[in-house]
C-alpha cells in the first residue's frame, strides 16, 4: 500500500473529525499557518506524512492554534498504518487580538510555542504518546523561548527557558476524536509560570503528585486549557 493510497483512503475522514473538533470550540479559519519550504527538507523534523501546518480557530473570548499534520494517515516500513503519531497539539489564549491575521498569529508567542511543541512531537514521535499513557500529564522545557515583556519575568527563568504542561483536560474540547485508523488525542499545551514549573520538581509530594496538584489548582482557577501572560500563578 502506498503513502498516496493511505491518504486517498483516510485523509478526508481525518481532516473532517479534526475540523469538527476545532469548530466545536470556535470558528476555524480557512487559511492555515504553513511554510514556503517544508522544514523537514532543510534539517527540521519530518512529520509523519510530510505535510506540516497549523490551524487557527477563533471565538469571542480567545484564539486557538493547533498542529495540523501530526495525525495525518501514514504508512510505516515496520508497522501497520496509523493516524500519524495519533495526536495533535493545541494552545488557547485570550491575549491575542481576535482579528490578528495569519502571519501575526504565527509569529505570536502562542503560535511559536505551539509550533515548537509540534516539532518536538515530530522529533520524538510515538514517545510522546507513550509519555501521555504513562503520566497522563507531564511537563517539558523549551529553551531559548521568547515572550513579550509583560510575561517574560513571570514565565521565563534566568536562562530564558519556558516550561509547558502537556495533557491537561477540560470540557472546552474533547480528549480524543475518532480517527479512521485510531483515536487521535487533542493535547493541550499550557504555559507554566517559573514558580509552577519549579513546583513540579521541587516539592515534597513527588513529581507526579505535584503535576496533578497543579491540574487541580488550575481547575479551581478556571480556564484550565488556557494560557495567558498575565495569569496569576497558582503557586
Question: What is the distance between the alpha carbons of residues 108 and 93, in angstroms, rounded to a whole number?
Answer: 11
Q: Is residue 77 part of a domain?
A: yes
User: Which candidate, 114, 210, 218, 219, places its Cα nearest to that of 164?
Assistant: 114
Question: What is the distance between the alpha carbons of residues 110 and 11, in angstroms, rounded to a whole number?
Answer: 27
pLDDT band, very low/low/confident/very high, at 93 (cuts 50, 70, 90) = very high
pLDDT digits (tens, 9 = 90+) for 3-32: 458 989 999 999 999 999 999 999 999 999
Q: Is the pLDDT of residue 213 over 80?
A: yes
User: Which candidate, 117, 111, 105, places its Cα nearest to that of 70?
Assistant: 117
Compute the average pLDDT of residues 97-113.
Answer: 97
pLDDT digits (tens, 9 = 90+) for 172-199: 999 999 999 999 999 999 999 999 999 9
Write out the three cell numbers for 233. 500563578
List, in sequence order, every beta strand (DSSP E) within the chain. Answer: 27-28, 53-59, 62-68, 73-74, 82-83, 87-93, 138-142, 162-166, 176-178, 183-192, 226-227
User: Which candidate, 28, 3, 46, 25, places its Cα nearest to that of 186?
Assistant: 25
- pLDDT score for 203: 78
Q: Is residue 11 part of a domain?
A: yes
Conformational region of residue 185, where left means phi above 0, alpha means psi within -120 to 50, and beta covers everything else: beta
pLDDT digits (tens, 9 = 90+) for 30-66: 999 987 666 666 667 899 999 999 999 999 999 999 9
- pLDDT score for 75: 93
Q: Is residue 55 part of a domain?
A: yes
- pLDDT score for 35: 73
- pLDDT score for 28: 98
Q: Is the pLDDT of residue 113 over 60?
A: yes
Write out the three cell numbers for 193. 509560570
- pLDDT score for 85: 97
Using alpha carbons, list the distances in angstroms from residue 35 to 40, 52, 54, 106: 10, 8, 10, 10
Compute the average pLDDT of residues 155-165.
Answer: 97
Q: Is residue 83 part of a domain?
A: yes
Q: Is residue 233 part of a domain?
A: no
Q: Is residue 104 part of a domain?
A: yes
Query: Grid coordinates 491575542 are at which residue?
Result: 96
Q: Is the pLDDT of residue 154 over 70?
A: yes
Q: Which of 37-41, 67-71, 220-224 has the lowest mean pLDDT?
A: 37-41
Q: Is residue 235 part of a domain?
A: no
Q: Is residue 109 part of a domain?
A: yes
Q: Is the dihedral of CA 215, 219, 223, 229 positive or negative?
A: negative
Rounded mean pLDDT of the chain?
A: 94
Which residues have CB under 8 Å from 36's CB, separation 6+? none
Task: Give how many domains the chain has, as a whole number.
Answer: 1
Q: Which of 38-52, 138-152, 217-231 has the lowest mean pLDDT?
A: 38-52
Range of the domain at 171: 3-227
Question: What is the distance between the alpha carbons of residues 190 and 183, in angstroms, rounded to a whole number?
Answer: 22
Which residues are paired to 185 by β-bridges? Answer: 87, 176
Q: Is the pLDDT of residue 2 over 60?
A: no
Amino acid at each position: 500500500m502506498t503513502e498516496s493510497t493511505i491518504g486517498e483512503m483516510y485523509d478526508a475522514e481525518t481532516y473532517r473529525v479534526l475540523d469538527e473538533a476545532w469548530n466545536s470550540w470556535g470558528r476555524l479559519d480557512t487559511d492555515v499557518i504553513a511554510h514556503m519550504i517544508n522544514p523537514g527538507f532543510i534539517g527540521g523534523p519530518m512529520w509523519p506524512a510530510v505535510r506540516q501546518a497549523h490551524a487557527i480557530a477563533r471565538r469571542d473570548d480567545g484564539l486557538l492554534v493547533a498542529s495540523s499534520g501530526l495525525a495525518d494517515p501514514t504508512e510505516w516500513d515496520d508497522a501497520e498504518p496509523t493516524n500519524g503519531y495519533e495526536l495533535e497539539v493545541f494552545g488557547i489564549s485570550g491575549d491575542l487580538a481576535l482579528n490578528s491575521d495569519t502571519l501575526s498569529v504565527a509569529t505570536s508567542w502562542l503560535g511559536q510555542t505551539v509550533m515548537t511543541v509540534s516539532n518536538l512531537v515530530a522529533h520524538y514521535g510515538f514517545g510522546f504518546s507513550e509519555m501521555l499513557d504513562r503520566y497522563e500529564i507531564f511537563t517539558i522545557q523549551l529553551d531559548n523561548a521568547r515572550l513579550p515583556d509583560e510575561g517574560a519575568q513571570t514565565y521565563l527563568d534566568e536562562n530564558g527557558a519556558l516550561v509547558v504542561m502537556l495533557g491537561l483536560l477540560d470540557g472546552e474540547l474533547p480528549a480524543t476524536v475518532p480517527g479512521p485508523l485510531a483515536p487521535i488525542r487533542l493535547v493541550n499545551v499550557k504555559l507554566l509560570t517559573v514558580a509552577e514549573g519549579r513546583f513540579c520538581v521541587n516539592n515534597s509530594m513527588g513529581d507526579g503528585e505535584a503535576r496533578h496538584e497543579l491540574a487541580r489548582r488550575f481547575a479551581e482557577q478556571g480556564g484550565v486549557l488556557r494560557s495567558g501572560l498575565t495569569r496569576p500563578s497558582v503557586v
